[in-house]
């Protein structure tokens, strides 16, 4: 019986000493970011920064391009638009070609996106600005404060890549 207990204790010790734990950094490396595609299939190659977009649009009213940047929010109702942060501190409304695809309604804040399509400068009327504010979940008071049209950079996207 004594030999059996000694053998059992030795076996347990060998198993415990030979069981390697996975280092924390190895676990992090196995979690690769997921890139999801919406609309036309596009690649990130050739995308310009929002800083380059703002500079290019200072000289043009329309530009067919591919842009990468940070998503600020998306339409909470359907996912039929999203806002991206521009390098000059403003935002750009991204709509989707022919209303043909949508992005998630939640969880896009701070995510990296690549969009392909056409950037334009547009005068957005009060009713549309109020509609966007309503879709974004703004309060009635915030919506009522919108009383003037605004010239904004807009983007009509054929395809979108979002990194989660």
pLDDT digits (tens, 9 = 90+) for 40-88: 999 999 999 999 999 999 989 999 999 999 999 999 999 999 999 999 8
* Confidence bin at 30 (pLDDT 50/70/90): low
Contacts of 61 (CB under 8 A, 6+ apart): 120, 121
| Average pLDDT over the chain, rounded to an integer | 86
- pLDDT, one tens digit per residue, over 116-158 is 999 999 999 999 999 999 988 899 999 999 999 999 999 999 9
Q: What is the pLDDT of residue 59?
A: 87
pLDDT tier, 1 (very low <50, low <70, confident <90, very high otherwise): very low
For residues 35 and 43, give the distance between their C-alpha atoms in angstroms, rounded to a whole number: 11
Beta partners for 62? 120
């Amino acid at each position: 019986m004594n030999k059996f207990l000694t053998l059992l204790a030795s076996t347990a010790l060998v198993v415990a000493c030979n069981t390697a734990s996975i280092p924390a950094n190895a676990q992090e490396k196995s979690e690769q970011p997921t890139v999801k595609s919406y609309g036309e299939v596009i690649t990130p190659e050739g995308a310009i920064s929002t800083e380059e977009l703002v500079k290019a649009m200072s000289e043009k009213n329309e530009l067919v391009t591919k842009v990468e940047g940070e998503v600020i929010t998306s339409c909470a109702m359907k996912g039929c638009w999203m806002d991206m942060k521009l390098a000059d501190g403003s935002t750009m409304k991204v709509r989707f070609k022919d209303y043909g695809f949508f992005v998630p309604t939640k969880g896009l804040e701070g995510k990296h996106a690549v969009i392909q399509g056409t950037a334009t400068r547009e005068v957005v009327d009060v009713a549309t600005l109020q509609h966007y504010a309503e879709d974004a979940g703004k309060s009635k008071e915030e919506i009522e404060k919108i009383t003037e049209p605004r010239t904004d950079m807009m983007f009509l996207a054929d395809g979108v890549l979002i990194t989660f």
